[in-house]
Amino acid sequence: MAVFLQSLISGVLIGGVYALIGIGLTLIFGVMRVINFAHGDIMMVGMYLTYLLFTLMGVDPFVSVLISFPLMFFFGGFLQKVFINRVLNAVAQNQILLTIGLGLIMSNTVMLIFTSDYKILTTSYSSSTIQVGGGVSISTPLLVSFLITAVITAALGWFLLKTDTGQAIRATAQDRDAAQLMGINVSRMSVIAFGLGAALAGTAGALISPTYYIFPQVGGTFTLKAFVITVLGGMGSVVGATLGGILIGITESMSAVYISSGWKDVVVFVLFLLVLLFKPSGLMGKSRT
């Protein structure tokens, strides 16, 4: 029972970070109908940013979110304005290829600068835990990152639901043409949405950097995971992505314990295929043709 509880808790905690990555992807997809294959690589850029801030200036990874969030927002906005914006009306395949290309450029540029060595960001609390009782313990960095994730998700929810810009973004996601006719500057909303998506991915990168290896190719796995999460939750649904993230986190940690850690990603991908086959609209998505 302790093992079950333990893996459930760590699954939920890591799932919070996954949710952040998934929300970013789903936001971008919702507003622009572009599937961002560079999402994991954007997260990787966030990890290296955190690493740089930590090693050069001694900024704590969790505090560095305050710096990396706006920086990654501008980075995302820049990507949207310069590259993605040009293919908004192209066929989906070309959009996919463009983002794959951008991802390759990011990961290989980082490799040229930092080499492909694995970097580890060791903080005083990297391996500290909190004992809850009953043999169950919680990793401190995971708990802190989960709390930050929760705050960010809540703030994002408030932004999307209550502010004018948030509502304009949601209107653009609902119907781009109608939103434009209502006087919403849809191209600005696209820049903001991509910026937010990148900022969320970068933040997720910052949050996992105390507990995860940092290397240039780390993005690929996370891009795939982000897809699984968003498809599971329903493409374009923020609530769905949050649920999907936590679900994938739990699935991973459960299958690592009860099957084997080597096969845990296979379990996730099989789950993904099953969802694609039997409920392609996802848990929270409306079916779209």
Partner 1 sequence: MNKSMLKAAIGLIVLAGLLVIPRFVESPYALHMMILLFLSVSQGQSWNILGGYAGQYSVGHAAYFGVGAYTTMMLMYSKQVAPWVGVWAGVAAVIVVALVIGSICFRLRGPYFVLASIAVAEIMRLSAINLTTLTNGAEGILVTEIPAFKIGGRVVTDFLTKVPFYYIGLFLALLTLAIAYWVQHSKLGYYFQAIREDQDAAHSLGIHISVYKNIGLVISAVLTSLAGSFYGIYVGFVDPPTVLGLDVSVQIMLICIIGGMGTIWGPVLGSLLLVPLSEALRSNMITEGLVKIGLVSADSKVGLFLKENLAHAHVLLYGILVVLVILFMPDGLMGFVKKLASRRKREAA
Considering the complex, state which of residue 157 and residue 220 has its C-beta at the smaller distance from partner 1. 220
Binding site for partner 1 (CB under 8 A): 35, 83, 86-87, 90, 92-94, 96-98, 100-105, 107-109, 111-112, 115-116, 220, 224, 227-228, 231, 260, 262-263, 265-266, 269-270, 272-273, 276-277, 280
* DSSP run (H or E) holding 231: helix 219-233
d(CA 89, CA 92): 9
User: Do 35 and 197 contact (CB within 8 A), yes or no?
Assistant: no
Long-range Cβ pairs for the range 274-283 (8 Å, 24+): 275/231, 275/232, 276/231, 280/231, 281/234, 282/230, 282/231, 282/232, 282/233, 282/234, 282/235, 282/237, 282/240, 282/244, 283/232, 283/233, 283/234, 283/240, 283/243, 283/244
Write down how long the chain is. Answer: 289
Q: What's the CA gap between 72 and 100, in Å, rounded?
A: 19
Instruction: Give whichever of 86 and 127 is closer to partner 1, judged by the CB atom.
Output: 86
Q: Packing angle between helix 92-114 and helix 219-233, nearest 10 degrees?
A: 150
Cβ at position 222, least distance to partner 1 in Å:
12
Instruction: Please tell me the distance from the alpha carbon of residue 50 to that of residue 90, in angstroms, as a whole number.
Output: 35
In Å, what is the CA distance from 181 to each residue of 49, 160, 219, 228? 40, 20, 38, 34
* Minimum CB–partner distance for residue 91 and partner 1 (Å): 9
Nearer to partner 1, 129 or 187 (CB): 187
CB nearer partner 1, residue 146 or residue 227: 227
The 3-state DSSP class for residue 59 equals coil
Asked if residues 199 and 38 have their Cβ atoms less than 8 Å apart, the reply is: no
Closest distance of CB 144 from partner 1, Å = 31
CB 183, min distance to partner 1, A: 30
Tell me the closest approach of the beta carbon of residue 93 to partner 1, in angstroms: 5
CB of 57 or CB of 112, closer to partner 1: 112
CB 181, min distance to partner 1, A: 27
Nearest CB to partner 1, comparing residues 109 and 165: 109
What is the smallest separation between the CB atom of 221 and partner 1, expressed in angstroms?
A: 9
Q: Which is nearer to partner 1, 7 or 107 (CB)?
A: 107
